[in-house]
Amino acid sequence: MTGWLSQWLRGKTGGVYSLRRRLLVSVLGASALLWSISLAIMVNIAWDETNDVFDDGLEDAAQLIRAAGADLSGPAVANTDPIDRDRRHAGIYYQLVANNRVLRRTGPTPDEPFVTDFDRHKGFRTAWVGMAPWRVFVLRDEEGGLEVQVGQPLEARTEILEELADDLIWPAMTLLALLGAVIWLAISRLIGPIEQTALTIAGKTPEDLTPVAVVEQPVELQPIVNALNTVLGRLDHALQAERRFTADAAHELRTPLSALRMKIQLLERQHPEHRPSLRQLYQDTDRCTALIENLLALARFDAAQASALPREPVALPDLLDELRCYHLPQAETGQIGLAVECRVAALVGNTDLLRIALRNLLDNALRYCPPGCRVRIEAQYIAGGIRLAVRDDGPGVEASQRSRLAGRFFRVLGSDRSGSGLGLSIVERIAALHGATLHFETGLDQRGLSAVLDFPIAGQEKNAV
């Protein structure tokens, strides 16, 4: 039971606990405990009051019996008239006793006196009749030597409390359940600002690191929000500094690299005997230039806002055919088959960014596939959106490394092909600006690699080719 309660308090995740559940259990548990204590106190008070009332009744009955002046000249008589069970009966019976001998008695009283060693004028005793306790009041007439003993089974008193408990248990349990519901609603309402703040924080992105509003927050939550805003401010400052450095460094390096490229070309013409070495240097310069261009593009895309991105219906058949024509010389040089399979007429997005993303994916596929492989560009509808994919049947990438492919400057170990390690990062950022996702899976014929872009259906009109 304890283990189940602990698991319930911690929630489904097990490692964390639910503040709402703990508050509910704490408040409801304390309420139930205090309710039980107050109930016990009320039962005790009710028992004492009931005893006082019945004791007064026993004493009044004894006084009336003595004042009635019962005739004691006849033999001992027992009044055993049947009791009407259809009405509540107080269960009060009496004995008239003289010289420890019962002269008169009523109901189920015994033949012997309730009390035989009573030495006072009047008072109460608890006597046992068989196995049942009785409450007895004794009133002694000192002149005539007569004792009036009025008794009542204690069971008659406890029955009243039991009936009272039976009548009150369900209303009390209902009120306790109602109290639990009210506490749950109150806690949920009080925790509402925390949940709202959590949603606001979850909505933060690298493009939106503005401070969380503190004005409407509870006083207890404001220190946490203030600390979070400080962290967000530092993070925003660091990201801005990183973007500025990347953009400035790439911009400053572009000019000397362009000059270096021109000088290499000049050296090739002046010294043809060194052309192989100069050609290798020329290619290295081109790779550096491509790296700088990618850094500039990444810095530009990082600073872009999805809400400010211009969008329009993009004719996918035309775009994919344009990309095929652009990369066809590269594919023919590498003896790689390049095909297009488009089943979507249009996609709402930014034409330039989509072109850059697909060009990077195609460039990666053509660069890493050996001769004789196939590369295919696909566009099709899927459940909930549109899918663009570049698939190949080349060497592929191990499943354990696919999740890292979009990381900046990440390159698969053992690859001898040149690259900056930023192309897929740029694709992922472009996908994020369109609300799309980038993931990787197995390629054509269960071989190679597929780079897949899934665009949400919102804002897309289904027009198949």
The verdict on residue 208 lying in a domain is no
Do 51 and 125 lie in one domain? The reply is yes
pLDDT of residue 233: 86
Domain boundary, last residue among 179, 195, 211: 195
Do 98 and 59 lie in one domain? The reply is yes
The verdict on residue 79 lying in a domain is no
Do 56 and 107 lie in one domain? The reply is yes
Do 176 and 262 lie in one domain? The reply is no
pLDDT of residue 73: 46
Please count the structural domains in the chain.
3
SS (H, E, C) 27-43: HHHHHHHHHHHHHHHHH
Q: Please give the model's pTM, rounded to 2 decimal places.
A: 0.47
The verdict on residue 211 lying in a domain is no
pLDDT by 10s per residue, the chain, length 465: 455 555 555 554 455 667 777 888 888 888 888 888 887 888 888 888 888 888 888 888 888 887 775 555 444 445 554 444 444 567 788 888 888 888 888 878 888 888 887 778 888 888 888 888 988 888 887 676 788 888 888 888 888 778 877 887 888 888 888 888 888 888 888 878 887 888 888 877 766 778 887 777 777 778 888 888 888 888 888 877 777 776 676 667 667 777 777 887 888 788 888 777 777 777 677 767 766 666 666 666 665 566 667 788 999 999 999 989 988 888 888 898 999 999 988 998 888 888 888 988 898 888 888 898 999 999 999 888 899 999 998 887 877 777 777 666 566 544 555 555 677 888 888 888 888 889 888 888 888 888 999 998 765 555 545
Distance CA 284, CA 309 (A): 34
Domain boundary, last residue among 151, 180, 195: 195
The verdict on residue 434 lying in a domain is yes
Q: How far is CA 29 from the centre of its chain?
A: 22
The verdict on residue 394 lying in a domain is yes
Angle at 208 between CA 202 and CA 210, to 5 degrees: 90
Do 123 and 144 lie in one domain? The reply is yes
The verdict on residue 38 lying in a domain is yes
- Can you spell out the DSSP letters for 87-125? S-----EEEEEETTEEEEEETT--SS-S-S---SSEEEE
Do 15 and 37 lie in one domain? The reply is yes
Do 190 and 169 lie in one domain? The reply is yes
Q: Are 456 and 436 in contact (CB under 8 A)?
A: yes
pLDDT of residue 131: 87
Is residue 129 helix, strand or coil?
strand
Do 449 and 401 lie in one domain? The reply is yes
Domain boundary, last residue among 283, 302, 321: 302
Q: Are 346 and 313 in contact (CB under 8 A)?
A: yes
Do 318 and 427 lie in one domain? The reply is yes
456: its two tokens: 């949400």
For the domain that residue 334 is a member of, what is the CATH number? 3.30.565.10
Q: What are phi and psi of 14, to 5 degrees?
A: 80, -45
The verdict on residue 209 lying in a domain is no
Do 286 and 429 lie in one domain? The reply is no
Q: Which structural domain, as residue segments, surrounds residue 191? A: 1-69+89-195
The verdict on residue 217 lying in a domain is no
Do 137 and 32 lie in one domain? The reply is yes
For the domain that residue 284 is a member of, what is the CATH number? 1.10.287.130
Tally of CA atoms within 13 A in the half-sphere of 140 that contains its CB: 15
Helical (H) or strand (E) element with 380:
strand 374-382
Do 155 and 252 lie in one domain? The reply is no
Angle at 308 between CA 304 and CA 310, to 5 degrees: 105
